[in-house]
Homo-oligomer: A and B are copies of this chain.
Amino acid sequence: MNFEIEQKIFMEHLNSVIKGISNKNLIPILNCIKMDLTEEGLYLLSTNNDIAIKSFISADKIKNIKSTGTIVVYGKYLYEIIRKLPDKIIKIEEVFEDKINIYTDNSSFYLNCNKVEDFPTLNLEESSQPIKLSIKSLKNIINQTIFATAISEERPVLTGINFYIKDNILKCVATDSYRLASKVIELNQKIDNETNIIIPSKNIQELNKLLSDEEDFVELHVFSSYVIFKFSDIIFMSRLIQGTYPNATALIPTEFMLKTKVKKVDFYNSIDRASLLANEYEKHTIKLELKGQEITISSNIQEIGKVEEKIIIEKDNDIDIVISFSAKYMLEALKAMDDEFIVIHFNGDLNPIVITNQNDNNLIQLILPIRTY
């Protein structure tokens, strides 16, 4: 391996690949980046065995490929060295004794290499029928559902987001069994095989950091134990959570006693302020009272004090409601909504609250009430 490359171009790709390793992995080889230089270009690959990130720099972006080859180096050192070198041409050359020399006019680094054959063998082939959607849609799906996944490992399937695809409909669901977020989008293609997978939310978070150019498209390649996201010059692989995802749709009521319309920002700010005096040891519980055309939100911490917030709303009938719920869950759900106005659906004091945008039902946030007596 012997080539020259602009610092900026190399850095751009290392910025993606470095996210695939944690530095703290006890298996040294999983802290490494594999560099594979071919006539086509340079492939960079990292993996922690749970995710893998592959980035490609085509030969036309590389200055001078003198000889091809494959090496494996510590990712953290490679990344920091390239990052701190000046914005000029960097020369990289494999030298005797399994070392790599990274140098410019004034700087010369020798890094020890690991054995290429010790690096995990990954199958990053493509599937026959990828699912194509815009990066913008994928980012929306993630940001509007991921907060509702479970943190506790008690029921592993709930620590992921469920991607369910049938015909031309993609439905994503996340739930920790106290609240649920569901987003439906229509694809521009019809998928032959029903797909039902669970992707770990921590892996999705890593993927989300790599998604930037919203104009572009992403391809999903689904396999039995893993999924591949392909976009720009990047291939992102995540293992899947095995198990059966609960049929969440059945939990979402379709008929409601009462619907109210409220300006999202006003409702959010009132809940946010009321949450200041909601006890964190009691799930940040706050109380909502709906009477006439007014919502009163209240909470208190005995030793500190109490708060009362009022908002005027529109509602579709005369029913009054008194209901308690977690302010934290409500704030996270509200943040995910797109519209200026939202619709809050009630089915009495002890039944789930459902929130939708004013103009469509593709995004649903459901929150279970908390019994306070």
* Chain A contacts to B: CB under 8 angstroms: 74, 77, 80-81, 84-86, 99, 106-112, 269-270, 272-273, 276-277, 303-311
Contact = CB atoms under 8 A, between A and B. Distances in A.
Nearest to A101: B305
Given A77-B304, A109-B276, 9 more contacts: A77-B277, A81-B307, A84-B272, A84-B273, A85-B273, A106-B270, A108-B308, A109-B277, A110-B307
Contacts of A84: 269, 272-273, 276
Contacts of A270: 106-107
B106 A309 contact: yes
B273 A81 contact: yes
Contacts of A77: 276-277, 304-305
Contact of A304 (B111, B306, B308): B111
A81 B112 contact: no
11 contacts: A80-B276, A81-B273, A81-B276, A86-B269, A99-B305, A107-B270, A107-B308, A109-B276, A109-B305, A111-B304, A112-B303
A110 B301 CA distance: 11
Nearest to A276: B80
Contacts of A110: 305-307
A244 B305 CA distance: 48
Contacts of A111: 304-305
A296 to B, nearest CB: 10
Among A109, A110, A112, chain B packs the most CB atoms within 10 A around the CB of A109
A277 B109 CA distance: 9
Nearest to A272: B84
Nearest to A85: B273
A110 B274 CA distance: 12
Contacts of A304: 74, 77, 111-112
B108 A307 contact: yes
A131 to B, nearest CB: 42
Among A273, A276, A308, A309, chain B packs the most CB atoms within 10 A around the CB of A273
Contacts of A308: 107-108
A223 B272 CA distance: 45
A49 to B, nearest CB: 22
A262 to B, nearest CB: 13
B269 A109 contact: no
Among A111, A112, A304, A305, chain B packs the most CB atoms within 10 A around the CB of A305
Contacts of A85: 273
B307 A109 contact: yes
A11 to B, nearest CB: 14
A121 to B, nearest CB: 25
A112 B99 CA distance: 67
Nearest to A84: B273
A93 to B, nearest CB: 14
Contacts of A276: 77, 80-81, 84, 109
Contacts of A277: 77, 109
A76 to B, nearest CB: 9
B305 A107 contact: no
Nearest to A301: B77
Contact of A112 (B107, B305, B310): B305
Among A99, A106, A303, A311, chain B packs the most CB atoms within 10 A around the CB of A106
A110 B74 CA distance: 57
Contacts of A109: 273, 276-277, 305-307
